[in-house]
Every structure is written in C-alpha cells, then in structure tokens.
Amino acid sequence: MLKKPSVPFDNSLLGRFATPDTIVQFAHHSQSYNRYSYVHNNPLSFTDPTGQGLFKSIRRVFKSVSRTVNRVADWGGRVVHKAMENPYVRTAVAMWAGYQIGLPARFAYYDSTLTGAGLTEAQIAAIGTTGNIIGGTAGGFASGTIAGGNLRSGFQGSLSGGLFGGVNSYTQYWSAPGQIGAKAFTGGILADLQGGDFRTGFIYSGSSATAAWSYEKIVGYGATWRPGGEAVEKLRYTPPVAGSNNFGIQWTDGAPNWLDKLFWEGGPVSKVMNALPGFNAGAGMHDTFQVVSDAAGGNLLRNLVNLPGVPVAALMTAPALFDPLMPYVYLSDIK
C-alpha cells in the first residue's frame, strides 16, 4: 500500500520510501546516503511527515528554546529594573561595582610602578597615594554611573572616589580622631556637592571610619570583603590570622569529633562560608571574642560566648566593611 502524505511516496509495510529522498540530510552520516530509508532507520525516535528531513524539527526545537530564553531574559530584566528603582538596592549594587573596579585599578597601578629598585620612602608613599586616587576615581565613576544612571553622576562619583582615595592615603598616619574627622568631613562635602545632605554624608562616613578603626584595634588588622587564604594551624590562644581563613572551629578541648571536623577552620563548611564576601572578616572578630573569653574565664566562658557572639561580631564588623566602600558610595542616594 502506497501513501502520499505530501511528498515522496512511502510504503508503510516495508517502512521504506518507494521513491528516493531528494535531500542528503547529513553528509557525515552514512544513513543519509540510503535515500530509501525513513528517518535514518530510526522511526521509534523520529518522524518525518513532510519527507524533507529533520531540519524543520530541529528549527522548531531551536525556536521553542529561543522563545523560552527570551521570556526568561525579559522577566529577569523586569525584576532587575524594578529592584534598581529602590535607592538602597541601587546604592548597594553601585558600591559593589565600584569596589570591584576600583581595587583592581589601584593594584594595577602599583604593579606597573613599584618595579624599580632604589625607590625612596617618599616615592613609595607618593605611588601609594596616586594608586588610591586612581582606584577611587575609576571605581567612583562606575559607581556614580550606576547609581545616578548618567555620565554626569559618573563624573561626580569619580570626584568622590578620587577625593576619598586621597584622604585615606594622606591621613593614614594621623591619630584616630584626625582620620575619622577627615573622612567624615569629606563625606559631608561630597554628599552636599552631589545634591544630598551634608549631615547625612558626615554621619555615614564618620560612622564607617569609626567602625573600621575599632575593628582594627580589636582584631589586629583591617576588615576586608575579600575571602581569606588557606587556614593555618592554631593553638588555644592564637588570635585570628590576617589573610587566612578564620571561619570555623579553631580549637577544641580534646580530640575533635566528626562534627568538629565538619566545622573546623579549613573544613567543608569553613571553605564555603569563607568564599562569601565579608564573612571571613566577621569570623576574625568572633575569633577574637573566643580567645579573649577563654583567657579571662577558661573554656566554659569561651563556650558560653560562642553562639551569642556570632551576631555581635557581625554587627560590629558590618559597618567596618563599609569604610573601604565609601569612595564608591553615591552619597545623594543615602537618605
């Protein structure tokens, strides 16, 4: 029995075309050259109602996938657009973008200039200041453009970032009140220039500078968003180590059990949490609580302070982490 659904005749009993296929569909596939076969002799997986090959089916699949991707992208774009209408979300995104651009720009300048031998201390200090200004300017431009949505805001952000970068370098050897006051005053002026409120900029900048100074005095090094490196072995009273992974259990009274090992510094949980921005800085503050408590009241006090100390450490660390971001804050968005 011969059928003709459209083009070539096919024999349903034999499962073969009675006339040869007019198309060699896939030159690299040997079955394509058997022009009397139906769908590459694989009728359980494919159909060919037109007799003109698999290309139309493939095109339909691609069109379906493309429509789905476009719908998801459109939905995602609307969600992002709605979120960016919130000034706090926009400021957070702008700060993070500025930080991610400004920091590499600063270190790129350092790498390109701190290569010559025989540099004097004054030259090294000048390079450091210039690098801070360049990093602040680059990051501030990105932050301002995102926060304000135009190039004018970008240039205002570059001014803000450059000034903060210069102030941070110039005042680094000043007393704590001098550093904090200079940063607070700079923040107030820049907020006013950007159309915001001097008082608000003064308070935000001064508060973050105070928190950063306090963190460094308590922990022994500055708060940073960057993850720590490899965990190092610690003893009972070893304080947190700058640049290493400090998240997790650092010491236990007796041999560690399987649960201790799971949460041990450098263990599975530690590595995951350390990768999250800023978490290792909070761990450094918490480790300091642990060591000080242990020294003052022994292991009992250390254990009592352990869990309650986590939110306290986070609250003390969070404002300190905003200090390196202040060059990238578009202050007129902060109300």
Pairwise pLDDT comparison (163 vs 333), residue with the higher score: 163
**Which tokens is 138 given?**
């680059």
**Residue 291: HSE in the Cβ half-sphere, 13 Å Cα cutoff:** 19
What would the two tokens of residue 159 be? 């001014």
- C-alpha distance across the termini of the chain, in Å: 82
Percent of the chain with pLDDT over 90: 28
The overall pTM is greater than 0.95: no
In this structure, the answer to whether residues 122 and 42 fall within a common structural domain is no
* pLDDT at residue 184 in the model: 92
Query: What was the pLDDT predicted at 145?
Result: 87
Inter-CA distances, 332 with 142, 195, 198, 292, 319, Å: 15, 6, 9, 41, 19
Q: Do both 96 and 45 map to the same domain?
A: no
State pLDDT tens for residues 58-79: 667 778 888 898 889 889 888 8
Our count of domains for the chain comes to 2
Lowest mean pLDDT among 127-136, 176-185, 256-265, 290-299: 256-265
Instruction: Answer yes or no: is pLDDT of 47 > 50.
Output: yes
**Domain ends where: 172, 192, 221?**
221
Residue 275: inside a domain, yes or no? no
Same domain, yes or no: 48 and 88: no
Cα angle: 276, vertex 281, 282; to 5 degrees: 90
Whole-angstrom distance, CA of residue 283 vs CA of residue 287: 6
313 inside domain: no
Q: Is residue 257 assigned to a domain? A: no
Largest CA distance in the chain: 100
Q: 107 lies in a domain?
A: yes
- pLDDT at site 4: 45
Q: Which of 221, 244, 262 is the last residue of a domain?
A: 221
Cα-to-chain-centroid distance, residue 104 = 14
By residue range, what is the domain housing residue 120? 84-221
Q: Are 99 and 193 contained in the same domain?
A: yes
Residues 88 and 210 in one domain: yes
Together in a domain, 42 and 123? no
Angle formed by the axes of helices 198-219 and 279-321, nearest 10°: 150
Q: Under DSSP, is residue 179 helix (H, G, I), strand (E, B) or coil?
A: helix
Does 176 share its domain with 100? yes
The mean pLDDT value for 136-154 works out to: 86
Average pLDDT, the chain: 82
Per-residue confidence (pLDDT) for residue 7, from 0 to 100? 47
Q: Which of 204, 221, 238 is the last residue of a domain?
A: 221
How far, in Å, are 5, 113, 215 from residue 11 at the CA level? 11, 79, 83
pLDDT at 276: 93
Mean pLDDT for the stretch of residues 259-287: 91
**pLDDT for res 194:** 74
Q: Is the separation of the CB atoms in 321 and 225 below 8 Å?
A: yes
Closest CA to 294 of 235, 228, 254, 248: 235
In a domain, 154, yes or no: yes
Both 113 and 206 in one domain: the answer is: yes
* 194 lies in the same domain as 113: yes
Q: What is the distance between the alpha carbons of residues 202 and 189, in angstroms, rounded to a whole number?
A: 8
Same domain membership, residue 102 and residue 32: no
260, two tokens = 């201790």
Shared domain check, 101 and 34: no
305 in a domain, yes or no?
Answer: no
Model confidence band, residue 39 (pLDDT cutoffs 50, 70, 90): low
pLDDT on residue 243: 92
Tens digit of each residue's pLDDT (9 = 90 or more) over 201-217? 899 899 999 999 999 99
Is the residue at 138 inside a domain? yes
pLDDT digits over 283-322, tens only? 999 999 999 999 999 989 998 999 999 999 999 999 999 8
User: 105-109, 243-247, 292-296: lowest mean pLDDT where?
Assistant: 105-109
> What is the Cα–Cα distance from 74 to 69, expressed in whole angstroms?
8
CA distance 311 to 329: 25
- Domain match, 45 and 98 both: no
- What is the DSSP code (8-state) at residue 221? S
**Is residue 69 assigned to a domain?**
no
